[in-house]
Structure formats: C-alpha cells, structure tokens
Amino acid sequence: MEKKELQKKLDPMTYHVTQEQGTEPAFTGKYWKEHANGSYYCSVCGQKLFESGTKFDSGTGWPSFDKAVAGSVKIRQDERYGMKRTEVSCSKCGAHLGHLFEDGPTETTGQRFCINSCSLDLKEKSKK
Ligand SMILES: [Zn+2]
C-alpha cells in the first residue's frame, strides 16, 4: 500500500508504530490488560498473528505473547539506539509489531513477544 493511503487509513499512533518502528507508551494501549478469548490480527493487513491463549501478563504495559502463529512474523536484529534487540514484524506487510525477548515465563518457548496494542486487532471468538 502507498504511504499516503496508509497515512489516511491508520491513526497517527498506529502509523508511527507500524511504519516508523515506533513504540506506544506503556500502559496506554488497548490490549495490554485484555483477557478476551480470540485471535489478534495485524492492524495494517489483517493477517492473523497471535492467539489469545498465548497471551500473558508481563507487567510491562504492552501485550505479551509467548508464541506467534507459525509463519506470521519476521524476526530481525535491530541495533538502533545502540541496543541489541530483536524486532518482530508482520511477514505479510512488514508492519513493525514490537520486539522479542528470550525471558518468557513459560517452559514451552521461553520467549516473550512484546507487542504494541495498536499493531494488533483483536477479533473475539463468539461466546457459547
Ligand atoms: Zn501485516
């Protein structure tokens, strides 16, 4: 999608985070304390990225997951600002999502995907 179209489609924070590798302020996003049952999709292209079952409370103020949907994210070393971090982006549209850390709480993956709320779109599963 063209930069101009994206600027029109996305709100300023979402544009900043997904297209300029920004970070939303902690404890301000819409999903950091969300516990609904459902799936999280890329807020730019709609690709499915995370399942609510892998989300956990990290205390960081950003939504955190211990696992991404297979093939949905791209992982890349990010050395901006003199810090070595691992950047996580959408494998389909390249939107910046957040960072990956190796201090996850679960034994299954040991990973913590620290993701900006505005990069995500939650679709709740209908309650039965
Ligand atoms: Zn995407």
- Domains, the chain, in order of start with CATH, read 3-124 (2.170.150.20)
Structural Rg of the chain based on CA atoms:
14
Between CA 93 and CA 73 the distance in angstroms is 10
Query: How many angstroms is it from 96 CA to the middle of ligand 1?
Result: 8
Q: Are 75 and 68 in contact (CB under 8 A)?
A: no
- Residues annotated as catalytic are 114
pTM for this predicted structure: 0.92
Cα–ligand 1 centroid distance for 118 (angstroms): 12
Q: What is the pLDDT of residues 69-108, one digit of tens each?
A: 999 999 999 887 788 899 999 999 999 999 999 998 877 7
Q: How much of the chain exceeds pLDDT 70, in percent?
A: 98
